[in-house]
Amino acid sequence: MANESLKAKLEAYEETVAKMYAKHPERPNMKHNKVYTPLDIEGFDYERDLALPGSYPYTRGVQPTMYRGRLWTMRMYAGFATAEESNQRYRYLIENGATGLSCAFDLPTQIGYDSDDPMSAGEVGKVGVAIDTLADMEILFDQIDLGKVSTSMTINAPASVLLAMYIAVAEKQGVSADQLRGTIQNDILKEYAARGTYIFPPKPSMRLITNIFEYCSQNVPKWNTISISGYHIREAGSTAAQEIAFTIADGIAYIEAALKAGMEIDEFAGRLSFFWNAHNNVLEEVAKFRASRRLWARILKDRFGAKKDKSMKLRVHTQTAGSMLTAQQVDNNIVRVALQTAAAVLGGTQSLHTNSRDEALALPTTESVQIALRTQQIVAYESGLADVVDPLGGSYYVEALTNAIEKEAEDYIRKIDEMGGAVVAIEKGYIQKEIQESAYRWQMEVESGDRIIVGVNKFQVEEKPVEGLLKVDTSVGELQAKKLAKVKAGRDQEAVKATLEALRKGAEDESVNLMPLILDCVRTYASLGEICNVLRGVFGEYQAHATV
């Protein structure tokens, strides 16, 4: 009877609204209902769909107290030019209240080339720090206690090499591997689908990833062995539902590869982590976070038979949306980042990086980075958003949107399963095509004016070029090449040759875990390029196929 009464009132409401729209038509691009009521969440079961925070299916958060006891990790993404300059930025961030580091590497490092390689010309130190050998890593973390700091490294194809360097630096500091805390991205599937910093074909790449899973489960147990990234999928133009669908499909593929390699689900699943984008639509983003946790928990329990609670918890690092920053009226980006920060916190992230106001134009200045960090701190300590666990739980709109995003993501995962999984879907170009079409729709909405971007297609002003942007000196490549030559001249060449040959033989035998061999190479100061070239010689290189 209550529902019938509500339906009658909604019909009267619609009539009133129709008369108002005759005078003031609805704004374009309104994709959701005008108002949400209990009718939009009929069949909703609190215990099944929500439960309490820290309880399956973790819709309301993976920890019972969330931020009331401990705030999220404020992990600022940084890295540029040389290891010396990046080390100064890291120490500045720690002194200003950052509780974790997030390392950005330059493009040559990301695709396994040394700074003196002709392929690296013009790119050394431009979008991140250049790392050629263990010597650079030692400088990068000079006077930073790796036993106390949590470090995230955005590295994929050569993730095993950078992780080995990090372990070796810790050894030199007297910190054992079992005390290290942090994350390597190590997510190669999204590179094929959305980003492009791959080296090897899928099969040997998946082998390297599962080698890391196995090695860390035994030797670096506090380390998150993969950050399965939806961030870059969203940056490439996907919707919120596509972001979590394609990313969770990648997660399923990594689990299946690890199981095929002989690992047990509860042996490694608890160290899997995710990386979400915090986009502009605040409430949609909150619903996305909640839907992703519930979907992952059900997949781990029902599909893979996970028994440990930790295995079913989707833990997530978040970064605000770089693609939503505008080069026009850059100070507006401070407001955008604040709203995206609110979305991530209301959604229940475990760590967060906030982008800086000037990143649509250049690497951020120290002043801009401080504003970005202060944004997190203001939200944490002044806004009240961190005082209650899942404060939007029970909202008719948020619960209905959580359900809708989860269902859309499930439908995508079902299609990908029918194709044979994420690897096959990527090889067929399906995921890439879906992202491209979504990006195209977004751009058409912006160009038509149906989607307003303040300062870009509405509320424009004449403005002078932004001054004081950070610029990386073009001499960085030459300086880095000289440093590399000095390291090579001073190392034990026979030891380097022996460890690289052992790695080559190990790569030829699929039963061998390559992590110990890579660690041996790193300890002799073999370079990133030398190690990756050995693996290129055995595995070959991936060639992308055009999608239509």
pLDDT-derived band at 544 (thresholds 50, 70, 90) equals confident
Helices (H) and strands (E) in the chain, counts: 21, 9
Any residues with CB less than 8 A from the CB of 155 and at least 6 apart, and which? 103, 105, 109, 110, 162, 184, 185, 186
Give domain status of residue 457, yes or no: no
Give domain status of residue 218, yes or no: yes
251 vs 60, 187, 227, CA distance in Å?
Answer: 21, 9, 9
Domain span at residue 359 reads 67-448
User: Tell me: the pLDDT tens digits for 299-320?
Assistant: 999 999 999 999 999 999 999 9
Is the model's pLDDT at 505 over the cut of 90? yes
Task: Judge whether 230 and 246 are in contact, CB under 8 Å.
Answer: yes
What's the average model confidence in pLDDT over 488-505? 98
User: Tell me: the pLDDT tens digits for 72-128?
Assistant: 999 877 778 889 999 999 999 899 988 888 899 999 999 999 999 999 999 999 989
Task: Judge whether 526 and 500 are in contact, CB under 8 Å.
Answer: yes
Most confident by average pLDDT, 20-24, 29-33, 471-475:
20-24
* Residue in 322, 213, 309, 236 with CA at minimum distance from that of residue 278: 322
What average pLDDT does the structure give for the chain? 95
* Residue in 104, 165, 238 with CA at minimum distance from that of residue 487: 165
Give domain status of residue 396, yes or no: yes
User: Tell me: the pLDDT tens digits for 179-214?
Assistant: 999 999 999 999 999 999 999 999 999 999 999 999
Dihedral sign, CA of 205, 207, 211, 214?
A: positive
Is the model's pLDDT at 547 over the cut of 60? no
User: Tell me: the pLDDT tens digits for 436-493?
Assistant: 999 999 999 999 999 999 999 999 999 998 888 878 777 899 999 999 999 999 999 9
Task: Identify any residues that bridge with 181 across adjacent strands, giving them in sequence order.
Answer: 150
Exposed (0-12), middle (13-18) or buried (19+): which is 419, by Cβ within 10 Å? middle
Pairing mode of beta strands 316-320, 272-278: parallel
Give domain status of residue 485, yes or no: no
Exposed (0-12), middle (13-18) or buried (19+): which is 30, by Cβ within 10 Å? exposed
131 vs 1, 166, 186, CA distance in Å?
Answer: 68, 11, 17
Give domain status of residue 337, yes or no: yes
Any residues with CB less than 8 A from the CB of 157 and at least 6 apart, and which? 110, 111, 112, 188, 191, 197, 198, 199, 200, 205, 532
DSSP 8-state symbol, 464: P
Give domain status of residue 295, yes or no: yes
Is the model's pLDDT at 2 over the cut of 70? no
What residue type is assigned to position 516 of the chain? P
Query: What distance lies between CA 391 and its chain's CA centroid?
Result: 24
Distance CA 75, CA 336 (A): 18
pLDDT-derived band at 151 (thresholds 50, 70, 90) equals very high
User: Tell me: the pLDDT tens digits for 124-142?
Assistant: 999 899 999 999 999 999 9
H or E stretch covering 339: helix 332-347
What's the average model confidence in pLDDT over 275-289? 98
Distance CA 137, CA 171 (A): 12
CA angle 342, 347, 353 (to 5 degrees): 60
Task: Identify any residues that bridge with 73 across adjacent strands, giving them in sequence order.
Answer: 351
DSSP 8-state symbol, 467: P
pLDDT-derived band at 260 (thresholds 50, 70, 90) equals very high
What residue type is assigned to position 31 of the chain? K
Give domain status of residue 39, yes or no: no
pLDDT for 79: 79
- Residue corresponding to tokens 């969440």: 41
Number of residues that make up the chain = 548
Helical axes 282-298 vs 332-347, angle rounded to 10°: 30
| Cα atoms found within 13 Å of the Cα of residue 303, Cβ hemisphere only | 19
**Total domain count, the chain:** 1
CA angle 109, 113, 114 (to 5 degrees): 90
Cα-flanking dihedrals φ and ψ of residue 498, to 5°? Answer: -65, -45
* Residue in 74, 56, 44 with CA at minimum distance from that of residue 314: 56
Task: Judge whether 43 and 92 are in contact, CB under 8 Å.
Answer: no
Distance CA 418, CA 467 (A): 53
Give domain status of residue 406, yes or no: yes
HEC readout, 55-107: CCCCCCCCCCCHHHCCCCEEEEEECCECHHHHHHHHHHHHHCCCCEEEECECH
pLDDT for 548: 47
Any residues with CB less than 8 A from the CB of 180 and at least 6 apart, and which? 146, 147, 166, 167, 170, 220, 222, 223
Query: What distance lies between CA 140 and its chain's CA centroid?
Result: 22
Distance CA 351, CA 353 (A): 7
Distance CA 189, CA 281 (A): 27
User: Tell me: the pLDDT tens digits for 209-257?
Assistant: 999 999 999 999 999 999 999 999 999 999 999 999 999 999 999 999 9
- Burial annotation 361-398 (CB, 10 A radius, 16+ → b, else e): ebbbeeebbbbbbebbeebbeeeebbeebbbbbebbbb
Instruction: Look up the CATH number of the domain holding residue 113.
Output: 3.20.20.240
Distance CA 406, CA 244 (A): 9
What residue type is assigned to position 2 of the chain? A
Q: Checking phi first, is residue 247 left (phi over 0); if not, alpha (psi -120 to 50) or beta? A: alpha
Any residues with CB less than 8 A from the CB of 355 and at least 6 apart, and which? 77, 319, 320, 321, 322, 325, 333, 337, 364, 372
